[in-house]
Homo-oligomer: A and B are copies of this chain.
């Protein structure tokens, strides 16, 4: 997480101010229910809320205390007692730091997940609009970077839409994974704390109680969360890579928007580079890179060790802030993407109809040629085109062996583009529920 690749709303989730505010709420809600259960005095809970609710926690003061006691939650509680006064001794009753820390992390990750889901929703809206705009814009489909058969640019975008729809659903699952609250004490036995405290605080903080915790919420949940972010980031990379390919000088079927004052290169004034999508490729690498540390965090020792903590202090913000930025940037790129449909047509025509080779192959087999012979006949004419000797359709018409099976009309009919788009509506209905 660096400012260059951060957006404020996501970054704020990870600020010390936000963290201390969540810590306070957890402690104060716990005090409320403990008061209700007769564990602490009612007035104590009231004073805690009254003095703490709008308090501005002094980050530097807390840091100073921590330098001495070497424990962040104790530092916070000490500072809190400076604010709340003697009633502060009823704060944190029977709780352990992790009750606060892990529940706070859950709240932060839930908020982060909500932003990411909103990011994906925005991206989906953009993709849907552009997909319908280009539902029937012909373009060549490519496998291995080589022309395969015709498709439409809208179908390409529908594919991206379906991919991010899956990502949305994965993020919803990932959110559920980490949306748990643990207030179960030192080793998860509720020895000093009533399980009803956990239930109450969970509900107040928008979480569900953890089934069973040790001292901490089990880290397989977080591993699943960050792994999911790695998958989403990889989908960002896929679409970004598509744009990068389409903008290549020789292809130039689509381009990132290039603003008036923009400069592509300090040295070469003619440059317009797909720098945003290249950047997204790099950011995807980072979000993926955080997956392994998160997986390594799972095997904590016994009821917990604290090795996961430094990892999460870094990948918590790094992973969510970077992915948030990436999703927003991708939506911007797709929103303003300049589509050169003329070049799409030009490129598709480049090979003189080679992209129809399968139709000819199928026609031959339908007319009685064996699959092997049909393949051989089509391939030998296609290879001449690759060698630059001329036009595919002409070669076929002149090939006596081909003509034993196919008439001139048969052959010509195979070069019809519309044939390939007849199921565009089918596909759109599958993806968008409408065509």
Contact = CB atoms under 8 A, between A and B. Distances in A.
Contact of A249 (B142, B358, B379): B142
A157 to B, nearest CB: 10
Contacts of A249: 140, 142, 145-147, 347, 350-351
Contacts of A159: 188, 212-214, 218
A163 B212 CA distance: 9
Contacts of A242: 301-302
A378 interface: yes
Interface stretch (A48-56, A81-89, A103-111, A120-128): A81-89
Contacts of A362: 93-94, 192
A270 interface: yes
Given A234-B295, A266-B77, A142 B306 contact: no
Contact of A170 (B185, B224, B245, B374): B224
A272 to B, nearest CB: 6
Contact of A372 (B81, B166, B355): B81
A333 B173 CA distance: 32
Given A143-B302, A278-B306, A423 B189 contact: yes
Contacts of A163: 218, 220
Contacts of A423: 189-191, 195
Nearest to A91: B371
Interface residues of A, number: 168
A296 B92 contact: no
A291 B295 contact: yes
Interface in A249-278: 249-251, 259, 261-275, 278
Contacts of A146: 247-249, 264, 271-274
A145 B244 contact: yes
A420 B189 contact: yes
A382 B270 contact: yes
Contacts of A74: 263, 266
A18 interface: no
Given A270-B379, A296-B285, A307-B279, A265 B145 contact: no
A353 to B, nearest CB: 9
B292 A149 contact: no
A307 B145 CA distance: 12
A57 to B, nearest CB: 17
B265 A143 contact: yes
Contacts of A238: 220, 298-300
A378 B269 CA distance: 6
A365 interface: yes
Interface string A58-93: 000000000011110110011001000010111111
Given A144-B275, A357-B270, A379-B263, A307 B291 contact: no
Contacts of A188: 141, 151, 155, 159, 427
Interface in A314-356: 314-315, 318, 322, 347, 350-351, 354-355
Contact of A269 (B81, B173, B211, B357): B357
A361 B268 CA distance: 8
6 contacts: A2-B313, A143-B186, A144-B275, A191-B423, A282-B306, A292-B292
